[in-house]
């Protein structure tokens, strides 16, 4: 879910959403392909117009204290982190839900909020403040998921790819396709066209075409600037040329 609003309105809505999810979801019965650590897995608060990072951090920590009071271990990440080893989500979520019980027995993994006790029903929760992320998926015309996994490995930072790309390969069994599922965690330093064309080149090695892409959830307008410049070859394009953007200012 992604939604926008005034800070306190967003905070109260997120508390209500999380509380209901924690009531209804039982992680001990959950299986899936996407990495996760809890029933409400990760809750980032992202400052937009007229809000500073420090304000968003306080909102995230108020949310964290609330979730901790419900008996759920909570970890802070990115701008809200209190420990450098907890800066990145994948580091906190390593081992996923299945490893959380053992991790909580290690003093190094004591949560920032909530009990130092495994909650089998809820799991754990990560919250914090981060730069606007672009969730960008590329679908390939093949049922061989190993191709998507190899391409994901080629473009993601952890294996020597782009510094601001996290990626994994998934099977879309209902479509007979596979997907390179990505998070572009800083679109200004690793723009969308650069990633798309790299995936296209890697897929060409296997004789596999791209059949579609997905932008999941809201996308910052500035993330589309490089898309326009690259594919229209409009090298001098400025965001101020967009009428609606000028009206917002």
Catalytic positions, written as ranges: 34
Phi, psi of 27 (to 5 degrees): -65, -25
Cβ–Cβ < 8 Å for 195, 184: yes
Cβ–Cβ < 8 Å for 100, 28: no
What's the Rg (C-alpha) of the chain? 20
Of 53, 63, 189, 68, nearest to 129 by C-alpha is 53
Cα 190 to chain centroid, rounded: 15
Question: Please, is 8 exposed, middle or buried when counting C-beta atoms within 10 Å of its C-beta (0-12, 13-18, 19+)?
Answer: exposed
* Parallel/antiparallel/unpaired status of strands 42-45 and 125-129: parallel
DSSP assignments along 51-95, one per residue? --HHHHHHHHHHHHHHHHHTT--EEEEETT-SSGGGSSHHHHHTT
């Amino acid at each position: 879910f992604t939604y926008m609003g005034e800070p306190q309105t967003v905070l109260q809505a997120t508390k209500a959403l999380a509380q209901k999810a924690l009531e209804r979801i039982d992680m001990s019965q959950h299986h899936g392909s996407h990495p996760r650590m809890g029933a409400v897995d990760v809750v980032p608060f992202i400052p937009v117009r007229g809000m500073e990072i420090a304000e968003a951090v306080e909102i995230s920590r108020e949310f964290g204290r609330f979730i901790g009071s419900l008996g759920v271990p909570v970890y802070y990440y990115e701008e809200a982190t209190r420990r450098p080893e907890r800066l990145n989500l994948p580091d906190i979520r390593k081992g996923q839900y299945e490893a959380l019980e053992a991790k909580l027995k290690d003093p190094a993994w004591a949560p920032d909020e909530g009990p130092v006790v495994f909650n089998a029903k809820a799991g754990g929760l990560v919250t914090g403040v981060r730069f606007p992320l672009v969730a960008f998926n590329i679908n390939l015309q093949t049922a061989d998921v190993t191709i998507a996994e190899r391409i994901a490995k080629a473009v993601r930072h952890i294996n020597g790819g782009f510094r601001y790309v996290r990626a994994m390969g998934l099977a879309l069994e209902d479509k007979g396709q596979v997907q390179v599922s990505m998070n572009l965690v800083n679109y200004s330093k690793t723009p969308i066209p650069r990633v798309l064309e790299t995936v296209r080149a890697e897929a060409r090695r296997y004789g596999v075409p791209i059949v579609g892409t997905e932008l999941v959830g809201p996308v910052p307008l500035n993330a589309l600037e490089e898309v326009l410049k690259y594919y229209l070859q409009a090298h001098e394009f400025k965001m101020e040329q967009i009428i609606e953007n000028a009206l917002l200012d």
